[in-house]
Amino acid sequence: MKLYVEGGGDTALLKAACREAFTTFITKAGLKNRPRIVACGSRRDAFDSFCTAIVSGEDAMLLVDSEGTVSDRHQHGLPDTWQPWAHLKARAGDGWDKPGGTADTQCHLMVQIMESWFLADRLALKTFFGQGFKENALPEPNSATESIAKSQVYSILARATSNCRTKTPYGKGEHSFKLLTRIDPTKVIQASPWAKRFIDELRKKMDALN
């Protein structure tokens, strides 16, 4: 099975880093059977590539940023009944129709962005950025990371890393995939119900295929 992910920009080097990072994260989450990661660059390219795969009869999943708060009506009841496709259809800038023949369990959201996951692991951030890292700029431990707006997440990371001695302030291209390989999936799953849904559904799918 292939997992089409948002991320990796337009360069082969970044796409390789994206593939490696998500593979590492999924492996550390305890999945023995893993999908083939396809780093797609933009969210639209990820969606289009996923749709092409579905039309071709491939087993596929999609993972993109939610880019905002997910409405309660789209995450009501058990996680396997949540409606990520409805969120993406309603979101200004997307308006994506659910591809025919797909299930909501084939679509997964990083809420609100991938960097939201980083906030769940304070130790990984502190260790990675080293001397000068401002831990007090981070949200309180055990905060609900999904409720922190995208712009605020970037501001938090900018403040926390503004005076680091050995690394530049947080930059998506420079740091994001390196951090993804270092964070603890258990902490992310505890902080993010959507991340838990992603790992749970991916495990079910991969176990069923093997």
Task: Please indicate, yes or no, whether residues 162 and 194 belong to a single structural domain of this protein.
Answer: no
Residue 209 has pLDDT above 90, yes or no: no
Q: If pLDDT is split at 50, 70 and 90, which confidence band does 10 have?
A: confident
What is the spatial distance between Cα 140 and Cα 93, in angstroms, rounded to a whole number? 31
Judge if pTM exceeds 0.75: yes
Task: Please indicate, yes or no, whether residues 103 and 201 belong to a single structural domain of this protein.
Answer: yes
**Torsions phi, psi for 36 (to 5 deg):** -85, 125
Contacts of 208 (CB under 8 A, 6+ apart): none
Residue 82: which domain range?
Answer: 2-113+184-209
pLDDT per residue as tens digits for the range 13-35: 999 999 999 999 999 999 999 99
Q: In the predicted model, what is the mean pLDDT of the chain? A: 96
In this predicted structure, what is the pLDDT of residue 1?
96
Tell whether the torsion through CA atoms of 7, 39, 195 and 108 is positive or negative: positive
Task: Please indicate, yes or no, whether residues 121 and 142 belong to a single structural domain of this protein.
Answer: yes
Task: Please indicate, yes or no, whether residues 202 and 166 belong to a single structural domain of this protein.
Answer: no
Contacts of 115 (CB under 8 A, 6+ apart): 153, 154, 157, 172, 176
Mean pLDDT of 135-146: 93
**Torsions phi, psi for 183 (to 5 deg):** -70, 155
pLDDT per residue as tens digits for the range 44-60: 999 999 999 999 999 99
Candidates 95, 164, 96, 158; CA nearest to 129 is: 164
